[in-house]
Chains A and B, each alone.
Chain A
């Protein structure tokens, strides 16, 4: 039998839910539904949506590719400065994204300490490109997959990996066939969070990659721009993001984040 919840808890919970639900609800109420067709069919919206998906998925893929090994090193490695490295890796979570954008500019921008070399020697410019948007988004969202993976690794019973090693598995084979599958749920949960964070990324992207339609103007940037010329359109674009995010979080999120 479920215990009955105390009234103060229910009241505060309702207030908390309202706090989140009300703004979203307001979007629906105030949306100029008559404009919906025009906004959806407009080139700007579909381009921004496609770019948002490309950038967020690209950032998630890169985050998984380098974030999972990074988590492994943080969880299992024994080297001086590990605590400092971990702090630096999760720094983007607490850093204002615009600061991240500026840091990326001075590192990878055309005049940046590495970016200058990239431009002069390799001929690659990252600022004002889609690749730049992916990099800015990855910078901000990768810590989430690193944290989730590291916590999965720390919770993994080491006996499984030892058993696999005793049965002839090289360390790479053990990682591939035992470690990774066993922490799969945590990695997937981290990936969903990373993707959700990437989809909403604004500050670092606009600072580092600029706001160029078709190249770096993802949905949040499009909403920001639309707000100044077409407030109704901004609401509709916002709603597209809301629906997309809620759909993904409801179908994947609950299960992967361990909530039924």
Chain B
């Protein structure tokens, strides 16, 4: 059963944002997208804070889009916390209760409990300015929970937290999201956060949803360059044309790529075909490679990112590629930014998505 059904559109000047998705009662959905995609606008529209919002919003079958923000049973931990600077941590957390008419003493007692659970190390009497970024975010989380909402929204909960405090806070978020009895929405621009905290991901780019799926589904079949980059896959898009030897050529704006012709497609040109290539399937060479690989690209290393014992190498070439090799071979080959290398990948390693894709999702 879909607990929260969102179908909203916001038009502000020449900018429009549309979102149509559901969140089940026991589910965490991440809204993932680059900065400026409109993620915060959507959750603020859900909370009733954007007057320009049109559309339908229902919770457990009841329409709530007509309700004023203070009547919607929604708890939000805002980006950067937005704690009231003149109130102590305790009064911040007691705010939702008192705002909804609880007696101050009862609201404070409840706030003390929530604070003890979510932010045990925080002095309840401290003002927000005296707290670290991590502590502030914990208080913001406590405040979102303190009103006993039916929907929990976390907007970029880790963005203002320094790296050292992140892992611990992520664990707390995971626990809090799992324990929350109702639909949860998580706004983030960080794929790791989305992948590790959410059951499903809504990918939002430039005000439009480009893909909805589980982390696994999006990793396996990203629909856009952004989603592919996000989960570390190379993504190519072009016209697929049959060539000799049972192979095909994917003609992309960045150059042709040789692929294996998909068995279930008759040999004729197909437009708008997507192909993904795992970075681990791209081999790098100091010299032009001899032998079997059908795809050989010459390029300049743009960036080398070390992830444990793997090095992710971003290559500027035609097409641009991301390769993942061991740090050992990266060192052996002397690969640093600016190095000129050859990349090769086999035609059979490319995964093709030939089914027609609506143009507006790309």
Contacts and interface: CB of A to CB of B under 8 A. Distances in A.
Contact of B70 (A160, A168, A181): A168
B82 A168 contact: no
Contact of A178 (B70, B71, B84, B147): B84
A162 to B, nearest CB: 5
Interface in A22-40: none
B48 A166 contact: yes
Interface stretch (B92-100, B243-251, B258-266, B325-333): B92-100
A165 B85 contact: no
Interface of B: 44, 47-49, 68-72, 74-76, 78, 82, 84-87, 95-96, 98-100, 143, 147
A182 interface: yes
A160 B143 CA distance: 13
Contacts of A162: 44, 49, 69
Q: Which of B49, B70, B86 has the most CB of A within 10 A?
A: B70
Nearest to A181: B86
Given A164-B95, A167-B95, A168-B100, A182 B85 contact: yes
B78 A159 contact: yes
30 contacts: A159-B78, A159-B82, A160-B82, A163-B76, A163-B78, A163-B82, A164-B84, A164-B99, A165-B49, A165-B68, A165-B69, A165-B70, A166-B70, A166-B72, A166-B74, A166-B76, A167-B75, A167-B76, A168-B99, A168-B100, A169-B70, A169-B95, A169-B99, A173-B99, A174-B99, A177-B95, A177-B99, A181-B87, A182-B84, A182-B86
A211 to B, nearest CB: 45
Interface in A223-241: none
Contacts of A163: 76, 78, 82, 84
Interface residues on A, range: 10 to 19
A121 to B, nearest CB: 42
A184 B96 CA distance: 22
Interface string A120-137: 000000000000000000
A105 B66 CA distance: 50
Contacts of A177: 95, 98-99
Given A177-B99, A181-B86, A181-B87, 5 more contacts: A160-B84, A165-B69, A167-B96, A167-B147, A177-B95
A166 B147 CA distance: 10
Contacts of A160: 82, 84
Sorted from nearest, which 5 A-B pairs have the closest CB atoms?
A169-B99, A168-B99, A168-B100, A167-B96, A163-B82
Contacts of A178: 84
A181 B44 CA distance: 24
A166 B47 contact: yes
B325 to A, nearest CB: 45
A173 B143 CA distance: 17
Nearest to B144: A167
Contacts of A165: 49, 68-70
Interface in A181-203: 181-182, 184
A167 B70 CA distance: 6
